[in-house]
């Protein structure tokens, strides 16, 4: 079930019937089930950046969810950073994949994160590491960041970094 499939004005309290809209297979819910909690959490969620002017980045924003083992993928193909040696711009495609536990990444905050690298002097490896570290607050079961640098001199570079909640606990 996607966020666009949930009605904006739904509020839920214990024992209240909830109509989840025209999503195939949905029936009204009379207890505070996982789906009802998700609707409640989304209607009380206060976006950090969405619908607000300005582009000052202050950390990723996360949207609460009760869905389990949801695999998400973002692809950002307009990321730039400067070569740490020459200062020339490097162009990247950054792919972020994760398995959500209790929250999703809000896409506008991700866009603002990608804009912060524009003037930074970073290698592709450093860029992948910084994006992976920004995802620490996601509490994902598993996450992977792939950074693919646009071809220069006929050479393309791809860096892949990943982490799981099991590795971080050690």
Separation CA 142–CA 24 (nearest Å) = 29
83: left (phi > 0), else alpha (psi -120 to 50), else beta? beta
Active site residue 41: no
Q: List, in sequence order, every beta strand (DSSP E) within the chain.
A: 62-64, 70-82, 89-100, 103-105, 142-152, 155-164
Given the residues 41, 72, 83, 165, select the one marked as catalytic.
83
Given the residues 58, 61, 72, 90, select the one marked as catalytic.
90
59: left (phi > 0), else alpha (psi -120 to 50), else beta? left
Active site residue 165: no
Active-site residues, by number, are: 83, 90
């Amino acid at each position: 079930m996607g966020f666009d499939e949930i009605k904006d004005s739904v509020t839920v309290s214990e024992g209240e019937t909830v109509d989840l809209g025209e999503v195939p297979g949905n029936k009204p819910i009379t207890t505070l089930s996982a789906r009802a909690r998700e609707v409640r959490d989304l209607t009380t969620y206060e976006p950090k950046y969405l619908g607000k002017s300005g582009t000052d980045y202050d950390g990723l924003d996360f949207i609460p969810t009760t869905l389990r083992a949801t695999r998400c993928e973002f692809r950002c193909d307009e990321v730039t950073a400067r070569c740490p040696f020459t200062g020339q711009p490097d162009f990247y495609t950054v792919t972020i994949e994760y398995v959500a536990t209790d929250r999703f990444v809000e896409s506008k905050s991700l866009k603002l994160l990608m804009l912060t690298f524009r003037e930074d002097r970073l290698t592709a490896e450093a860029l992948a590491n910084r994006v992976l570290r920004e995802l620490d607050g996601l509490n994902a079961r598993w996450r992977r960041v792939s950074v693919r640098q646009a071809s220069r001199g006929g050479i393309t570079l791809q860096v892949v970094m990943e982490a799981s909640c099991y590795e971080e606990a050690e």
